[in-house]
Amino acid sequence: MRRHLYHHRSHVMRPIPRTRILYSTPFRKAIIPRIHLRLNHTVAQRPDAYLEVVQGSKGIAALTLNRPAAKNAISTRLLKDFRHSLEKAAFDNSINVLIVRSSEPGSFCAGADLIERRSMTKPQVNQFLAELRAAFSLLEDLPMPTIAAIDGPALGGGLEMALSCDLRVAGHSVTKIGLPETRLGIIPGAGGTQRATRLLGLTKAKTLIFTGKMLSAQDALEWGVVDNVSGSNESAYEAALALAKEINQSAPLALRAAKLAISKAPELSLESGLTFERACYEPLLSTSDRLEALDAFREKRKPMFKGV
């Protein structure tokens, strides 16, 4: 039998509607503020960038940008959380491949938070830029391979973030990839002039930066800004994950040694580079993973690498 609250009127028993109880003034004052407080507390505690293990893919992790309402524009808070995640990843030997991605489809990173920037003093801007450069250098220097999954606009600092990764995968429908700073009265200030030049060469880097040109995913592939474009039925993250799984089949210590040797190559003469390559190669000879690879080859099976 249903239960109701009743009131008397003209001696007729009538049920009080539930909506009247739920939205009565005493209920709102007593209950609803507590609900909002809990929700606001939850949102406040949610990081703007965080490190997470990719489920079902041992050895692969994601550094997730989580400021979707602002297209992951880089605020001081996001930068702090991003730097903290990078520091954790740098010393996590269980990570063989790291993907930088957005928590929401259709996004990557729209660059610096210009709304927040307008409220900053010049010393605060200088500090922010110094910390941003340091964070991107930390990303570039991570010991494991890194992939940027560009599922949306990658502008200014967002593209500079992607350029700090080893590889870049763009979603097939992305239309805004570029360094538009000269149109805002500045230049790329977090490594864009240097990393774009090393990646693209002088002429393409100058054209990209002088014009502030916006590239589509296909344009970016042709220019060499990105390495892959996702298929029409998949996101950049899904394509990046497939690439990460392929890389993850290699021995973890070998991946780190290879990244170190390759990354140093532009700084060294050929002779010095060959010496450095040998220095990276020789420690691998005594690892268990190398012996496992030889055993697996002899036994015609897939090697089971442990990173030792």
The string of pLDDT tens digits covering residues 193-230 is: 999 999 999 999 999 999 999 999 999 999 999 999 99
More reliable by pLDDT, 23 or 132 = 132
What would the two tokens of residue 278 be?
């040998």
Taking every pair of Cα atoms in the chain, the longest distance, rounded to a whole number of angstroms, is: 103
What integer pLDDT is reported at residue 41 of this predicted model?
41
What does the pLDDT look like over 82-104, one tens digit per residue?
Answer: 999 999 999 999 999 999 999 99
Burial track 155-181 (b if 16+ CB lie within 10 A, e otherwise): bbbbbbbbbbbbbbbbbbebebbbbbb
**For the chain, what percent of residues have pLDDT higher than 70?**
85
More reliable by pLDDT, 217 or 14 = 217
Where in the sequence numbering do the catalytic residues fall? 112, 157, 160, 181
pLDDT (average), residues 157-182: 97
Selection from 273, 302, 307, 270 nearest residue 288 by Cα: 307
DSSP 8-state secondary structure symbol assigned to residue 120:
-
pTM greater than 0.85? no
What integer pLDDT is reported at residue 45 of this predicted model?
64
pLDDT tops 50 at residue 37: no
Q: Is 129 helix (H, G, I), strand (E, B) or coil?
A: helix
Burial track 82-93 (b if 16+ CB lie within 10 A, e otherwise): bbebbeebeeee
* Strands of the chain, DSSP E: 6-9, 12-15, 49-53, 60-65, 97-102, 146-150, 154-155, 167-170, 177-178, 228-229
What does the pLDDT look like over 48-89, one tens digit per residue?
Answer: 999 999 998 999 999 999 999 999 999 999 999 999 999 999
What does the pLDDT look like over 235-289, one tens digit per residue?
Answer: 999 999 999 999 999 999 999 999 999 999 999 999 999 999 999 999 999 999 9
Residue 139 CA to residue 131 CA, distance in Å, equals: 12
